[in-house]
Amino acid sequence: MRNRCLFFAAALLMATGACSDDAGDSPIVLNEVLASSATTGDWVELYNPWDNEVSLVGYELRDDNNFWTFDKGTIPAGGFLQVICDGSGKNGRASFKLDTKGEQVSVYDAKSNRLDLVAFPALARDTSWGRIPNGEGTWTLLGTPTPGKPNTAGAPADGGLPKPDSVVKPDSVVKPDSVVKPDSLEMRAEEGTRARVGTPAASLMLEV
Ligand SMILES: [Ca+2]
Ligand SMILES: [Ca+2]
């Protein structure tokens, strides 16, 4: 958890030109996203790195084409919040879903100031994209999704990326309809032989 006093000291240093960068003063940040799940639905994780509780009322989440405003909710000091993105827009759930092919997600405060933004890549089911270390680190594939909890380092065993479209499709398999159907059948046999033709259900005995 960061300390506000440290931040104000850093801000003062920035104002005097003595410091070129800082972890940022955003009250909350995006910390992890998951675009497809077998159990929970898509979700975004927010993180409050400070030592004060943050009210989310009036805050906004956006994806490429939609926005959704919090009408309630808080994140405690140092807390993590999982926001389900199932498209319902009800009961604290966002009114849009996340694109498994990748898109941008951003969070805005109640005055429409953008606090954070992430452009995530195509993600396999139940594979998340998150910051290591929490709240300030580089975004990367995470081996184990941790909704509502601190992120843990480690890449997915299967690489975490969707399977390529180049996999052979069943359309290329010969369909039974394409089998040549003879219009007629010609048989030749020595005189005095007998033969049975047909299917198990119907057959014809020929005698020459
Ligand atoms: Ca979306
Ligand atoms: Ca997490």
- Residue 168: inside a domain: no
Ligand in closest contact with the CA of 150: 2
The per-residue pLDDT for range 33-75, each reduced to its tens digit, is 999 999 889 999 999 999 999 999 999 999 999 999 999 999 9
Instruction: Tell me, in angstroms, the distance from the centre of ligand 2 to residue 145's CA.
Output: 6
Q: Note whether residue 131 is domain-resident.
A: yes
Asked whether residue 79 is domain-assigned, the answer is: yes
- With b for 16 or more beta-carbon neighbours within 10 A and e for fewer, the 133-169 pattern comes to ebbeeebbbbeebbbeebbeeeebeeebebeeeeeee
Which residues have a Cβ under 8 Å from the Cβ of 6 and sit 6 or more positions away? none
CA of 55 to the centre of ligand 1 (A): 25
Q: What percent of the chain is modeled with pLDDT above 90?
A: 59
pLDDT value of position 3: 56
Residue 30 lies in a domain: yes
Distance, in Å, from the CA atom of 25 to the CA atom of 28, rounded to the nearest integer, reads: 9
Consecutive H or E run containing 9: helix 4-15
Q: What's the half-sphere exposure (Cβ side, CA atoms, 13 Å) at 1?
A: 14
- 167 pLDDT more than 60: no
Judge whether 31 and 24 are in contact, CB under 8 Å: no
Q: What is the pLDDT of residue 160?
A: 72
What residues make up the domain containing 25?
Answer: 11-142
Query: Is there a domain that residue 196 lies in?
Result: no
Q: 61 lies in a domain?
A: yes
Q: What does the pLDDT read at residue 115? A: 97
In the reported structure, the alpha carbon of residue 75 is separated from the centroid of ligand 2 by a whole-number distance in angstroms of: 14
Number of domains, the chain = 1
- Confidence bin at 6 (pLDDT 50/70/90): very low
142-159: average pLDDT: 90
Query: Is 205 inside any structural domain?
Result: no
What is the average pLDDT score of the chain?
Answer: 81
Q: What is the mean pLDDT of residues 146-153?
A: 96
- pLDDT at residue 22 in the model: 37
Ligand nearest to the CA of residue 83, numbered in listed order: 2
pLDDT digits (tens, 9 = 90+) for 86-99: 999 999 999 999 99
Domain assignment present for 192? no
Q: Point out the ligand nearest to the CA of residue 130.
A: 2
Output the pLDDT for position 136: 93
CATH code for the domain of 18: 2.60.40.1260
In this predicted structure, the answer to whether residue 15 has a pLDDT above a threshold of 50 is no
